Amino acid sequence: MSILVAKHLKKYYGEGETLVKALDDVSLQVERGEFVSIIGTSGSGKSTLLHMLGGLDNPTSGKVIIDDKDISGLKGDKLCIFRRRKIGFIFQSFNLVPSISVYDNITLPIRLDGKKVDKAFVKNVIDTLGLENKLDTIPAKLSGGQQQRVAIARALASKPAIILADEPTGNLDSKTSLDVLGLLGTTGKKFNQTIVMITHNDEIAQMADRTIRIEDGHIV
Amino acid sequence: MFSNKIVERLDQMLDDAMNGTFTESNYDESKLSRLESKWKDFLGTSVLSNQNLEAERHRLEQFISDISHQTKTPMTNIRMYTELMCEEVDNLREHENEASVVKIKKYAEEIARQNERLEFLIDSLTKLSRLESGTLEVVAGPSSINELVKSGIAAVKPKAEKKGLSFVTSDREDKDPVTASFDMKWTLEALINVLDNAVKYSPECGRIEVALTETEMYAAIHVIDEGSGISEEDATKIFGRFFRGSEVQQDDGVGIGLYLTREILSKEDGYIKVVSNDKRKGGEFILYLRK
């Protein structure tokens, strides 16, 4: 049973002469525990695809099924709660809450959902990502790489059905990128976490179990 | 007290779970909705563990068939060379002939080589099974990378010298000690596998470079040789068990060393990467160890 299924996804903008097909009939499946990277140049449609997969944008037609649920049927609060429970996001710009500590950032999605924090699991995640000495610090005091490690910890801590990472190393230098990708790959395996990562850099293909290439809105 | 409606829903949830058709009915802030999500998670993970068991069973089956396949080739070769040797001995008995002596010597060497290959295979398999069953644990602790590299090079030196290969290591090693968190014995095993490959695929009189680099989280050991390297296509596959690349590998490689290496490194939160030969000339493997 696949954890993520996308069926015939299309996203069109404009019409007639100015019609732009950002995504043109994209179908894919991701199995539980898999680490899949989606590679494409800028303008290939990869970010549009990730937005559809994460319910951040609606497709013109087609379906996205996460953990057996067709998310195109979900609207407003329901979609919001669904995303909080099922999807961990890692963005290029980290998106940490600046006013609270690293630890509070990591456990925020769990607490927002009114769940109990699995302390042993969260500690394991924190140690694996080398954040044990930064827990009381606020994000602004951390380097870019460290902030992204916090974002990875936050995504892992709530044990989501799937983690979607959008150019997670886009704002980092090449050395720090190596760290972040290495950690993303090794923690994914260690905690059996399904990860879908978008990138334009094929150097990192090896970290993933599988690579999907996208060009002009098509899978190639 | 539970309202009838909730009890009914719980009953339905159990029925659906047993039929494998459970889906969450709604997503809201109610306790029932949260419970449904938790129930779905639980079912997902138990499906996953069943799948893992099934995959494990399949892996074991595959493993046994691989072992039988892998041992067959050297054993067939040994039998063949033994027969050839016997024939040649008879030949030699009939007419004293220097060419026969040379042939016999060659067959004996071939048998020794096949024997070595079998030994390596069985040795690796034993280690792998001990590693996977947890009989032998990988215990990561602060250790010296300089020492690791020194021992690794020392271990493959005799083989390298036979081919006239030289090792180059970056200067900073002695001045600037590098440490990381790893298990010395197992990681040495991993490094030797990579160095062994470099020796095997280097051209005669080639150069093997062992360089160290560091990032905030990892210390990396680069092993760079002047061989033909790994193609981009093979790069993602070579770490699989019993991977057979191009026909070149048919003879020497048994396709288990790199798999064992990757398993060892992942047990200590490290990983291994190969730089494919469209990126650089020669072969390069990088072992990343967690600091």
> Any idea which of A113-122, B78-87, B92-101 has the lowest mean pLDDT?
B92-101
Is there a contact between A98 and A138 (Cβ–Cβ < 8 Å)?
Answer: yes
Segment A169-190, tens digit of pLDDT: 888 888 888 889 889 988 988 8
CB spacing of A85 vs B47 below 8 angstroms: no
Segment A101-117, tens digit of pLDDT: 999 999 999 998 888 89
Is there a contact between B194 and B228 (Cβ–Cβ < 8 Å)?
Answer: no
pLDDT > 70? residue B251? no
Chain B residue nearest residue A33, CA to CA: B48
* Alpha-helix residue ranges (DSSP H) falling in chain A: 46-53, 76-86, 102-112, 119-128, 144-157, 174-190
- B238 with B165, same domain: the answer is yes
- B91 with B190, same domain: the answer is no
What is the greatest pairwise CA distance in chain A?
57
| Cα separations in angstroms, B195 against A154, B151, B179, B261 | 38, 11, 20, 11
For the complex shown, is ipTM > 0.85?
no
Domain edge (last residue) among B136, B159, B175: B136
Residues 62-101 of A with CB under 8 A from B: 67-69, 74, 77-79, 81-82, 85-86
Candidate from A74, A185, A211 with C-beta closest to B27: A74
B218 Cα to chain A: minimum distance (Å): 7
**B250 band by pLDDT with thresholds 50, 70 and 90:** very low
Residue B243 lies in domain:
141-290
Low-confidence ranges of chain A (pLDDT < 70): 203-206
Q: Which residue has the higher pLDDT, B80 or B135?
A: B80
B34 Cα to chain A: minimum distance (Å): 8
- B1 with B70, same domain: the answer is yes
- The pLDDT assigned to B287 comes to 95
Q: Coil, strand or helix: which one is A193?
A: coil
- B179 with B233, same domain: the answer is yes
List the beta bridge partners of residue A163. A88, A195
DSSP assignment of chain B equals ---HHHHHHHHHHHHHHHHT----S--SSSHHHHHHHHHHHHHHHHHHHHHHHHHHHHHHHHHHHHHHHHHHHHHHHHHHHHHHHHHHHHHHHHS--HHHHHHHHHHHHHHHHHHHHHHHHHHHHHHHHHHHHTSS----EEEEHHHHHHHHHHHHHHHHHHTT-EEEE-THHHHS--EEEE-HHHHHHHHHHHHHHHHHHSPTT-EEEEEEEE-SSEEEEEEEESS----HHHHTTTTSTT---SGGGGTT--S-HHHHHHHHHHHTT-EEEEE-TTTSSSEEEEEEEE-
- B131 with B194, same domain: the answer is no
- The pLDDT assigned to A125 comes to 94
Is there a contact between A15 and A22 (Cβ–Cβ < 8 Å)?
Answer: no
Candidate from B24, B48, B218 with C-beta closest to A69: B24
- B159 with B94, same domain: the answer is no
B69 Cα to chain A: minimum distance (Å): 26
- The pLDDT assigned to B174 comes to 63
Burial class (CB in 10 A: 0-12, 13-18, 19+), B8: exposed
Chain B residue nearest residue A180, CA to CA: B217
CA distance A68 to A80: 17
Closest among A106, A188, A203, A196 to A147, alpha carbons compared: A106
Q: Which residue has the higher pLDDT, B255 or B110?
A: B110
Domain segments of chain A as ranges: 32-59+71-219
CB spacing of A186 vs B29 below 8 angstroms: no
Domain edge (last residue) among B84, B119, B136: B136
- B84 with B160, same domain: the answer is no
- B242 with B149, same domain: the answer is yes
% of residues, chain B, pLDDT over 90: 29
Superfamily per CATH, domain A32-59+71-219: P-loop containing nucleotide triphosphate hydrolases (3.40.50.300)
pLDDT > 70? residue B158? yes
Half-sphere exposure of A140 (CA within 13 A, CB side): 3
Candidate from B28, B40, B51 with C-beta closest to A81: B28
Domain edge (last residue) among B108, B136, B164: B136
CATH number of the domain that B190 lies in?
3.30.565.10
Which chain B residues are closer than 8 Å to A143 by Cβ? 216
β-strand pairing of B166-169 with A195-199:
unpaired
Segment B97-125, tens digit of pLDDT: 788 888 899 999 999 988 988 888 888 88
- B64 with B187, same domain: the answer is no
- B122 with B166, same domain: the answer is no
**B247 band by pLDDT with thresholds 50, 70 and 90:** very low
- The pLDDT assigned to A73 comes to 83
Residue type, A29: Q
Residues 154-173 of A with CB under 8 A from B: 159, 161
CA distance A121 to A35: 20
- B151 with B286, same domain: the answer is yes
Segment B172-196, tens digit of pLDDT: 656 778 889 999 999 999 999 999 9
A116-121's contacts with Cβ under 8 Å and 24+ in sequence apart are A117/A157, A118/A159, A121/A157, A121/A159
Closest among B186, B207, B274, B282 to B234, alpha carbons compared: B274
- Domain count for chain B: 2
| Cα separations in angstroms, B112 against A146, B43, B118, B205 | 53, 54, 10, 24
Please tell me the total number of residues recorded for chain B in this structure: 291
Please tell me the total number of residues recorded for chain A in this structure: 220
Segment B192-232, tens digit of pLDDT: 999 998 998 889 989 999 999 988 899 999 999 998 888 77
Which chain A residues are closer than 8 Å to B37 by Cβ? 85-86
Candidate from A32, A67, A182 with C-beta closest to B218: A182
Which chain A residues are closer than 8 Å to B291 by Cβ? 130
Which chain A residues are closer than 8 Å to B42 by Cβ? none
- The pLDDT assigned to B84 comes to 92
Q: Which residue has the higher pLDDT, A169 or B47?
A: A169
- B46 with B72, same domain: the answer is yes
pLDDT > 90? residue B288? yes
